[in-house]
């Protein structure tokens, strides 16, 4: 699962996290009787070993439930993205394995079942797990073989761009002064416009080649400008600097919207020239 970088992604990740907890809730609830057994063993029977074994079985179930919860969230993240790469440890399968083992040990040691019966019960839990939650996603999706770019390339470019947008949002929060609210609103507009461009690239990864300059040069300049202004405004307020920053934000938004329109029209030559002009202007005005 790629790290949530922008505010919108963080919100979506939180919603997915809550949803995954809801989906995995029975895996957390079903082992609870083992906690009761642990205290029964310790307080009523005075058997420390029984107490420790009950707690260990409970902990094993919790580990499995946690792995499953993370795996479910990762699957939802993979399914919600148009371009995604599934990598790393298959968390759902690992969770299923741990829960299967915990079920076997509990059935065999605590519920006094025979070895074949315990194995059958453990297989029942594994089958139930995979029927309910499915398998881990594997491979890549969203990039056609003739797109001219690899899924790894698209994923890396989008992650980097989201990181820059996230940094712009964070810098916006640090802006101080009486007009901070208005400037933050302008930054939100820029972020929303840039987000639309990223969405377009995600929808059609062939656009990545045409938008490389926008993602690398332009977003990086926008991030530097916002960060520089945020740190300057925190130290001293300058109306002149603020006016320049305001104008630059308007330009940034317009360029984002133009990039979006140009990508739709598959025409990037003019825009690359405009980005160069904007970069020179930022440097000249001392904002970059």
Partner 1 sequence: MSTGFLRFLGVLLILGSIGFATVKGTFTGGFRYLTPGFGQVSHVPAADRR
Residues that bind partner 1 (CB under 8 A): 26-27, 30-34, 36-37, 40, 45, 47, 49-50, 53, 57, 61, 99, 103, 106-113, 121-122, 124-125, 127-133
- Report the residue number, 120 or 156, with the smaller CB distance to partner 1: 120
Least spacing, CB of residue 105 vs partner 1, in Å: 9
Neighbouring C-beta atoms of residue 116, cutoff 10 Å: 8
Contact (CB, 8 A) for 168 and 191: yes
- Report the residue number, 6 or 125, with the smaller CB distance to partner 1: 125
Least spacing, CB of residue 31 vs partner 1, in Å: 5
- Report the residue number, 110 or 200, with the smaller CB distance to partner 1: 110
DSSP codes, 143-177 = --GGGSS-HHHHHHHHHHHHHHHHHHHHHHHH--S
Least spacing, CB of residue 77 vs partner 1, in Å: 20
Least spacing, CB of residue 49 vs partner 1, in Å: 5
Task: Tell me the C-alpha distance between 192 and 169, whole Å.
Answer: 10
- H helical segments located in 134-150: none
Cα 117 to the chain's mean position, in Å? 42
SS3 140: strand
Task: Tell me the C-alpha distance between 96 and 115, whole Å.
Answer: 20
DSSP structural state of residue 45: S
- Report the residue number, 68 or 249, with the smaller CB distance to partner 1: 68
Least spacing, CB of residue 74 vs partner 1, in Å: 19
Instruction: State the sign of the Cα–Cα–Cα–Cα dihedral 204, 210, 212, 217.
Output: negative
Task: Tell me the C-alpha distance between 242 and 239, whole Å.
Answer: 5
Least spacing, CB of residue 273 vs partner 1, in Å: 52
- Report the residue number, 122 or 190, with the smaller CB distance to partner 1: 122
- Report the residue number, 67 or 168, with the smaller CB distance to partner 1: 67
How many helices (H) and strands (E) in the chain?
12, 2
Least spacing, CB of residue 159 vs partner 1, in Å: 31
Task: Tell me the C-alpha distance between 96 and 212, whole Å.
Answer: 41
Task: Tell me the C-alpha distance between 53 and 268, whole Å.
Answer: 66
- Report the residue number, 113 or 238, with the smaller CB distance to partner 1: 113
Q: In this structure, are strands 84-86 and 139-141 parallel, antiparallel, or unpaired?
A: antiparallel
């Amino acid at each position: 699962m790629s790290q949530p970088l922008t505010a919108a992604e963080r919100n979506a990740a939180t919603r997915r996290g809550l949803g995954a907890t809801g989906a995995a809730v029975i895996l957390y609830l079903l082992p609870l009787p083992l906690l009761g057994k642990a205290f029964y063993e310790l307080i009523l029977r005075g058997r420390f070993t029984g107490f420790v074994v009950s707690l260990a079985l409970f902990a094993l179930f919790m580990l499995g439930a946690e792995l499953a919860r993370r795996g479910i969230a990762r699957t939802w993240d993979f399914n919600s993205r148009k371009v995604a790469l599934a990598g790393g440890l298959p968390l759902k399968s690992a969770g299923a394995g741990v829960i299967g083992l915990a079920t076997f040990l509990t059935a065999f040691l605590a519920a006094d079942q025979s070895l074949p019966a315990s194995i059958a019960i453990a297989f029942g839990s594994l089958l139930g797990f995979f029927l309910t939650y499915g398998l881990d996603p594997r491979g890549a999706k969203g990039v056609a073989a003739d797109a001219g770019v690899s899924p790894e390339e698209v994923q890396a470019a989008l992650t980097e761009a989201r990181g820059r947008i996230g940094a712009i949002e964070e810098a916006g929060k640090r802006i101080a002064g009486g007009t901070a609210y208005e400037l933050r609103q302008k930054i939100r507009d820029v972020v929303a416009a840039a987000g639309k461009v990223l969405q377009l690239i995600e929808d059609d990864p062939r656009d990545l080649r045409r938008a490389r300059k926008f993602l690398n040069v332009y977003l990086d300049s926008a991030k530097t400008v916002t960060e520089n202004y945020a740190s300057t405004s925190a130290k001293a307020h300058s109306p002149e600097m603020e006016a320049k920053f305001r104008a630059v934000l308007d330009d940034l938004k317009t360029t984002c919207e133009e990039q979006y329109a140009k990508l739709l029209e598959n025409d990037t030559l003019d825009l690359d020239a405009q980005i160069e002009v904007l970069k020179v202007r930022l440097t000249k005005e001392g904002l970059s």
